[in-house]
Amino acid sequence: NAGVMQNPRHLVRRRGQEARLRCSPMKGHSHVYWYRQLPEEGLKFMVYLQKENIIDESGMPKERFSAEFPKEGPSILRIQQVVRGDSAAYFCASSPLMGAVESSGNTIYFGEGSWLTVV
């Protein structure tokens, strides 16, 4: 049973370009979360999505960032017109149930992350 798959693992973009990060949740999981880890900082929540719906985007920057989780295919985190400050590790996680991220039967699983470097 494959885990949460993220690609690309490493992405280099020039300032002003677009970055697209993809996340395929674990089989049977319909909820996806994106977190960002800036250098020397902890993970910060960005967005929580269910298939075709954004449940909570309170951690998303207001501009240039968007996320989707279509009915078919992976979840996409899109960053337009990247700047150096966007350089970070972006982690995706998935869970099978709505509601509590963690309960006795609803464990959240993390992907290996996508490292974005903006030059």
Q: Tell me which residue of 47, 43, 23 sits closest to 33, measured CA to CA.
A: 47
Give the side-chain half-sphere CA count within 13 A for 28: 9
Q: How far apart are CA 74 and CA 68, in angstroms?
A: 9
Q: Does 90 bind another protein (CB under 8 A)?
A: no
Give the residue with the Cβ less far from another protein, 3 or 17: 3
Amino acid at 93: A
65 binds another protein (CB under 8 A): no
Residues 17-56 that bind another protein (CB under 8 A): 33, 35, 40-45, 48, 56
Determine the 3-state secondary structure of 94 from DSSP: strand
d(CA 77, CA 66): 6
- The count of chain residues that interact with another protein, using the rule CB under 8 A, is 28
| Binding window for another protein (CB under 8 A); candidates: 13-21, 22-30, 69-77, 97-105 | 97-105
Of residues 35 and 69, the one with the C-beta less far from another protein = 35
In the block, which residue shows the tokens 């017109």?
81
Residue 115 CB, shortest distance to another protein, in Å, is 10
| Residues engaged in binding another protein (CB under 8 A) | 3-4, 33, 35, 40-45, 48, 56, 58-59, 91, 93, 99-104, 107-108, 110-113
